Amino acid sequence: MDFLLVHPPLLGPAVWTPCAAELAAAGHRVAVPDLRNACDPPAGWAERAAAAVATAHAADSAGPAGPAGPAGPAGPAGSAGSAGSAGPAGSAGSAGSADPAGSADPAGPPGPAADAAGAAGRGEPAGSEVVVVGHSGAGVLLPLVADRVGAAAAIFVDALVPAADGPTVPSERFRDFLDQLPLTEGRLPRWSDWWDPAAMAEQVPDAELRGRIEAEQPRLARAFYAEAVPVPASWPPGRVGYLQLSPAYDADAAEAAARGWPVRSLPGRHLDLVTRPAEVAGEILTLAGHPGGGGHPCR
């Protein structure tokens, strides 16, 4: 299988680095497109981000066998997730759910995520099934990404579920939350600065790993969350699954189940894809329909 791991707008590709290594070690091709340059300007970010992911996938598929680093920052036209986000434990996102990491990273060097590409190697021949996987705020981007790359499956990992009808927009509750945050030249604080400093340490206890993730956080324009994200007519693909990690995404997991999608549960924290990558990767494989998956029962 070819896995495209899509990071949320409020975080960067480093959040997927550990899972990318696990999936690559299992013999799969893995790409972690870097969308950190994708949010400015906010208008049209979703289409540009989906195009950047498709470009990264095409480059990865065409490359020689061997380690493949995640694509570098998507140009000024790249992008990130939409619907809102609240505490590291959750938030009021677009689909009535939490989105602790709902937005893309700013311009900057690929940083630690480049290691994800090295870890992400290419274990399968080009032409295998494409599976798109989104975490947190990247969930609203998955329909466009799946459409662009012709994905056979889409998997949400503690992520916002896009609108069932019409474009996805941030919830009123989340917009009200954002309006309480201090702005600097029209930009929001970094996601980890929305909460008590202890919250991020609780999510990722390892200081070095936490530092790499925090270093990639962008300061998104407040206008970013005024944008509606289209849901193409091709959505959904043949297989869609949902993996819930934290209670903050109860509403999204329930919505996924209501749509008839398999929902699996790995109780813990929102950033457990960083701290428990082997377990999360196993659940992703199960939802993708790979015999090498395993883990916790479906709800």
pLDDT by residue for the chain (299 residues), tens digit each? 999 999 999 999 999 999 999 999 999 999 999 888 877 789 999 998 999 899 989 987 776 433 344 444 443 333 333 333 344 533 333 333 334 444 333 333 333 333 333 333 333 344 589 999 999 999 999 999 999 999 999 999 999 999 998 999 999 999 999 999 999 999 999 999 999 989 999 999 999 999 999 999 999 999 999 999 999 999 999 999 999 999 999 999 999 999 999 999 999 999 999 999 999 999 999 999 976 555 443 34
Where are the extended beta strands (E) located within the chain?
A: 2-6, 29-31, 130-136, 153-159, 239-244, 263-265
CB 10 within 8 A of CB 26: no
Which residues have C-beta within 8 Å of that of residue 180, sequence separation ≥ 6?
Answer: none
> What are the phi and psi torsion angles at 61 (to 5°)?
-65, -30
How many CB atoms sit inside 10 A of residue 285's CB?
23
Output the pTM of the full model: 0.82
- Which is nearest to 236 in space by CA: 142, 158, 148, 169? 142
- 176: enclosing H helix or E strand: helix 172-178
Dihedral sign computed on CA atoms, order 281, 21, 156, 179? positive
Read off the tokens for 26: 């299992």
Token pair listed for 51: 């195009």
CA 199/CA 221 separation, integer angstroms:
23
Residue 56 in tokens: 């990264």
Cis status of the peptide bond prior to 236, with omega within 30 of 0 = yes
